[in-house]
A and B are shown apart, each in its own frame.
Chain A
Amino acid sequence: MPFDIYDFTSFTQWIDTSLRSSMSPAGAVAVEFLIVGVMILLFYAVIGLFLVYAERKVCAFMQNRLGPNRVGPFGMFQTIADLVKLLLVELVPIRNADKFLFNLAPFIVITASFMAISAIPFAKGLHAIDLNIGVLYVIAVSAMGVIGVLLAGWSSNNKYSLIGAMRSGAQIVSYELSVGLSLITIVILAGSMQLSEIVNAQSTGWFIFKGHIPAFIAFVIFLISSTAETNRGPFDLAEAESELTAGYHTEYSGIKFAFFFLAEYMNMFIVASIAATVFLGGWMPFHIGSWNGFNAIMDYLPPFIWYLLKTFFVVFLMMWFKWTFPRLRIDQLLTLEWKYLLPINMMNVLIMAFIVLMGWHF
């Protein structure tokens, strides 16, 4: 069994050939689907639980508190206890709700984030689907979640839910533009929309350094607009606790609420993964020009660890925003997008195109 922590290509090839030798090609593909599905499901659950714990701890430390510290050492099993509680909670039936859409909405939200996570390159050769339009696919699929949010708000037959869902709709439609344009800036630099090629192009230097100031501006805009897209603070108008109780998922309970909750955290993780992949070099180790000794030390860390480190760095940045800034009003939110981010982004794309045209990047 050729297992190499630095390159999973031979390992996945080995699984493929050994499956094909023992069953029909269709059966092998089915088994591979199953393996990939179970792996992603496990990864999804573990990362979701960890992120909830991390968020509570980071938030607590920033507010001079301790955070969860009772269940297990440093409160590490708190989220597992929360999960068990959520699974046991009664599913409250809502009178006069649209039953079918009400039950469908959480699945749409969680399916959207599942589809997005499958296109992310975790390590060399550890990549479920490598589409040649990976960036476009991720943008399109992650925007699908808003349908679930709108359905949840509409079918709940509740004013708070509806207002929250409508706000979320306005927000995501606006900020999708900024997310797209800031990724386009890097697509111009990389010359490809395929995520594996984008990562490979960064072997000589991450795009945030390669692209000079425009790439950095694109990174900041991507952070802001993707925070808004995932409905996280300071853009969490869709579930503003003080105004709308819980926004679009006010009426949900038990496992259905857990789906929304998990999808929110996983969307944050997916967005951070994309930021890490596109701007910070994905699973590529940190290399500096011709410092061969330094580069060799950096190569010791497996790519998967690099990927996780970068992703959690971006996740930490997003948590830092959330627990520092107060929530925006809906008009401020739209002003920020249409009067500031969008014009800056358009100028940024032009500047980046000019830099690439003149060959000023390295």
Chain B
Amino acid sequence: MKSIIDYIKEIISAVWSLLKGMQVTGYYFIRPKTIVTQKYPENRKTLVMMERFKGEVVMPHNEKNEHKCTGCGICEINCPNGTIEIISKTITTEDGKKKRVIDKHIYRLGMCTFCALCVKTCPSNALAFSQEFEHAVFNKALLTKVLNKPGSQLMKGVE
């Protein structure tokens, strides 16, 4: 007798759990607002990427055209596939000291795997990721970029 009651109980609990599952899918079916798909080429204008999205490496400049890169070369050493190349120059400051600053921070987008080792290891937080992801170009040379803007200087207080 007990086994028959258990049998019926099992059937009822099984049907109950199946109905619960159908409730979840039915809930989503009648609510088109829960759709997460984005229609990409149509919504380019309003598209907002995620804050931590790794688009491409950039060097943020402030409004006085100053960056934080000291030219230490740690990013160049850390890069696993030779994407970054730093060309530095030596200048003489106002008080007569000789100082090494960057001439060009070359970044080869075509070789980058977006591992973020350069951004993480930069001691002065000079590098960052932008949210730009439409990288396609017709000329391969356009993928080699110079990150520091022309005429930019090292930010005061960053050594």
Contacts and interface: CB of A to CB of B under 8 A. Distances in A.
Interface residues of B, number: 15
Contacts of A69: 39
B120 to A, nearest CB: 33
B36 A62 contact: no
B50 interface: no
B37 interface: yes
Contacts of B37: 64-66
B16 interface: no
Given A65-B35, A340-B11, A325 B28 contact: no
Contacts of B25: 62, 320, 323-324
Interface string B23-46: 011101100101111010000000
A66 B39 contact: yes
Contacts of A355: none
B32 A61 contact: yes
Contacts of A321: 22
B18 interface: yes
A132 interface: no
A118 B54 CA distance: 59
Interface in A48-89: 58, 61-66, 69
B110 interface: no
Main secondary structure of the interface of B (DSSP, over half): helix
B39 A320 contact: no
B21 interface: yes
A324 B24 contact: yes
Contacts of B11: 340, 344
- For B11, B25, B26, B32, the residue with the greatest tally of chain A CB atoms inside 10 Å of its CB is B25
A325 B21 contact: yes
Contacts of B39: 66, 69
Contacts of B35: 61, 64-66
A62 B29 contact: yes
A324 B21 contact: yes
B22 A324 contact: yes
Nearest to A323: B25
Contacts of B34: 64
A66 B37 CA distance: 6
A348 to B, nearest CB: 13
A325 B18 contact: yes
Contacts of B24: 324
A334 B134 CA distance: 52
Contacts of A323: 25
A318 B35 CA distance: 22
B138 to A, nearest CB: 25
Interface string A327-352: 00000000000001000100000000
Nearest to A316: B29
B29 A58 contact: yes
Contacts of B22: 320-321, 324
A209 B123 CA distance: 76
- For A69, A324, A325, A344, the residue with the greatest tally of chain B CB atoms inside 10 Å of its CB is A324
Contacts of A320: 22, 25-26, 29
Interface in B100-144: none
12 contacts: A61-B29, A61-B32, A61-B35, A62-B25, A62-B28, A63-B28, A64-B34, A64-B37, A66-B39, A69-B39, A320-B29, A325-B18
Interface of B: 11, 18, 21-22, 24-26, 28-29, 32, 34-37, 39
Given A324-B18, A324-B21, A325-B18, 4 more contacts: A69-B39, A320-B25, A340-B11, A344-B11
